[in-house]
């Protein structure tokens, strides 16, 4: 890692950001340090145009609030420009291949970011095929396997509150009931894969029908073994909360019905309406524990207003950090030279 007059620098030019598993702990640490520097510069009103005249294409197969706006605002603050694209208005809707899309967009700009998250077995595969043919970095804005932009912001938020040394701390990742729609599995999957690498003991809780992809569970177990931390799976929500320092309870759909039959996930979920984050659940956690959620939360179903608006909640800090981590990912992968940070 090079040292500049300002301090350190980080550069991962051209590297895809598809899952956190493909980035080392040292690289993720540097991304987080860069995120913190960009946050300080943003809050102080200091320009940080590290990507002048750069273009990123934002291709969405699903709706978005935080992801779209963090990337659009972020690239503008870095001096570049974003094109917002949806598959239905592109030739993708007529069957254009990921190969052709990747080649053309990478010749027009400097990065391709994709959200394709609702159908297990499709999104991650599509991104990797685009990346195979593109000669610019491909950034995963959420797929069926991982949501690496969200989990990086989550880790940043946890470190801001609890410090960098998280060994001995527990995070509970729990399913929660929501009637709105069958949500992707990628947030809990990304959390169990990333947090086990950074000193946290992880407890995953969900009803039996809401299992995660086997390969993500295998990765979490391997990561936990390598890091010397605990990874446990339970079918009791309270096990995720018991003595936890951080809890992230959210809904996701059934692996077996996502995509083709999402309504079945919602019907089945009605059996588990008691899986809600409320004062009683939070009373099981340690003093000063953090309530987190990637948003949007189904208030009154996933979580009570008392909790999400209460003193344990850091959901808006978490959402704000989506901007700074998105900027760090873009700056590190799209820049023509190393990015300085303190």
The answer to the question of residue 194 being in a domain is: yes
Residue 30 lies in a domain: no
Gap between the Cα atoms of 58 and 87, Å rounded: 10
Query: Considering the domain boundaries, does residue 154 fall inside one?
Result: yes
The pLDDT tens digits of the residues spanning 222-253 come to 999 999 999 999 999 999 999 999 999 999 99
Q: Which residues does the chain have with pLDDT short of 50?
A: 1-4
Task: Please say whether the beta carbons of 57 and 103 come within 8 A.
Answer: no
pLDDT for residue 204: 99
Q: Is residue 101 part of a domain?
A: no
CATH (domain of 278): 3.40.50.1370
Residue 50 pLDDT:
98
Strands (E), the chain: 3-4, 7-10, 55-60, 81-86, 111-116, 138-143, 170-175, 201-205, 231-234, 246-250, 290-291, 339-341
Task: Give the predicted TM-score (pTM) of the model.
Answer: 0.96
Domain count for the chain = 1
pLDDT at position 1 = 40
The answer to the question of residue 336 being in a domain is no
On whether residue 89 sits in a domain, the answer given is no
Q: How does pLDDT run across 305-315, given as a tens digit for each residue?
A: 999 999 999 99
The answer to whether position 135 is within a domain reads no
Based on the number of CB atoms within 10 Å of its own CB, is 242 exposed (0-12), middle (13-18) or buried (19 or more)? middle
Q: Is residue 94 part of a domain?
A: no
Which pLDDT does position 330 carry in this prediction? 98
Range of the domain at 303: 150-318
């Amino acid at each position: 890692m090079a040292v500049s007059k300002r301090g350190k620098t980080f550069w991962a030019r051209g590297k895809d950001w598809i899952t956190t598993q493909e980035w080392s702990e040292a690289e993720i640490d540097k991304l987080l340090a860069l995120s913190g520097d960009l946050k300080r510069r943003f809050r102080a009103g200091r320009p940080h145009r590290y990507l002048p005249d750069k273009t990123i294409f934002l291709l969405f197969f699903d709706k978005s609030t935080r992801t779209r706006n963090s990337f659009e605002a972020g690239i503008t603050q870095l001096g570049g420009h974003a094109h917002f694209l949806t598959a239905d208005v592109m030739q993708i809707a007529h069957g254009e291949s990921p190969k052709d899309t990747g080649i053309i967009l990478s010749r027009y700009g400097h990065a391709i970011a994709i959200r394709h998250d609702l159908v297990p077995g499709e999104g991650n595969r599509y991104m990797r095929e685009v990346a195979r043919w593109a000669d610019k970095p491909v950034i995963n804005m959420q797929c069926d396997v991982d949501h690496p932009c969200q989990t990086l912001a989550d880790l940043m938020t946890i470190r801001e509150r609890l410090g960098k040394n998280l060994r001995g701390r527990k995070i509970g990742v729990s399913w929660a009931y929501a009637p709105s729609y069958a949500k992707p599995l990628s947030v809990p999957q990304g959390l169990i894969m990333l947090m086990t690498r950074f000193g946290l003991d992880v407890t995953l809780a969900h009803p039996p029908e809401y299992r995660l992809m086997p390969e993500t569970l295998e990765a979490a177990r391997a990561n936990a073994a390598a890091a010397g931390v605990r990874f446990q799976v339970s079918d009791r929500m309270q096990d995720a909360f018991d003595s936890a320092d951080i809890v992230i309870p959210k809904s996701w759909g059934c692996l077996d019905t996502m995509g083709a039959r999402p309504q079945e996930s919602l019907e089945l979920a009605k059996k588990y309406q008691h899986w809600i984050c409320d004062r009683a659940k939070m009373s099981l956690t340690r003093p000063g524990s953090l309530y987190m959620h990637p948003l949007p939360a189904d208030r009154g179903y996933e979580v009570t207003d008392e909790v999400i608006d209460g003193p344990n909640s850091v959901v808006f800090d978490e959402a704000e950090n989506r901007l700074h981590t998105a900027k760090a990912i873009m700056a590190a992968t799209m820049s023509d030279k190393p990015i300085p940070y303190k």
